[in-house]
Chain A
């Protein structure tokens, strides 16, 4: 199993550009989520999905869109990049919505917005 994979590893954008961060998992996990990590802020939840076709907002959803058309994939879209979105983005998955499950993280995407 590859676990949780993310592409790209690094990305530089100009303000106003859009892009999609890709996330895939091969563990047949129902629950997937996106976090951003900023110094001193820990991991903040952007969006999450409890299963294919179902998504919901996390703590910091503004400026981001998600969709979940398959169990495996959970892409994160930046609609119009802003410097405040410079961060490290982690995708994570766990077996199900129930909280008593270990969460697996992808390797992260390091995004810089100029």
Chain B
């Protein structure tokens, strides 16, 4: 079945450094969603990408959807301690939303 793979599993950065997480699907996706989970919290929706090659920005966060709609990335510029958490991508399979394994970001002040 469709799998959504996410790398890296962990990323430790110094505050001010950039961070990128990558999401790859074995099949073409109609859309992809990104969620953030703070330590001890629950996943919270960040954004959805629908179009091939789409790029969306939210302040220091840049989201991209690949031309083939099989991969996506989240890039954070100049990380801050408030960016700490786990970032998940999720893609639809039928009516289900399948999540990647997540990338846990830690930021050292």
Chain A residues close to B by CB (< 8 Å): 31, 33, 35, 40-45, 48, 50, 58-59, 90, 92, 94, 97-100, 102-108
Contacts and interface: CB of A to CB of B under 8 A. Distances in A.
Nearest to B1: A59
A50 B43 contact: no
B80 interface: no
Chain B interface extent, by class: 20 to 34
Contacts of A90: 42-43
Interface stretch (B13-21, B68-76, B91-99): B91-99
A42 B64 CA distance: 21
A103 B97 contact: yes
A48 B43 contact: no
A25 B41 CA distance: 18
Interface of B: 6, 9, 30-31, 33, 35, 41-45, 48, 50, 88, 90, 92, 95-102
A102 B33 contact: yes
A104 B6 contact: no
28 contacts: A40-B101, A42-B88, A42-B99, A43-B43, A43-B88, A43-B99, A43-B102, A45-B98, A50-B95, A90-B42, A92-B43, A94-B97, A97-B95, A98-B95, A99-B30, A99-B31, A99-B95, A100-B30, A100-B50, A102-B45, A102-B48, A103-B45, A103-B90, A103-B97, A105-B42, A105-B43, A105-B44, A107-B41
Contacts of B31: 99-100
B95 to A, nearest CB: 4
Most buried by B among A40, A42, A94, A100: A42
Contact of B101 (A41, A59, A98, A107): A41
A42 B101 contact: yes
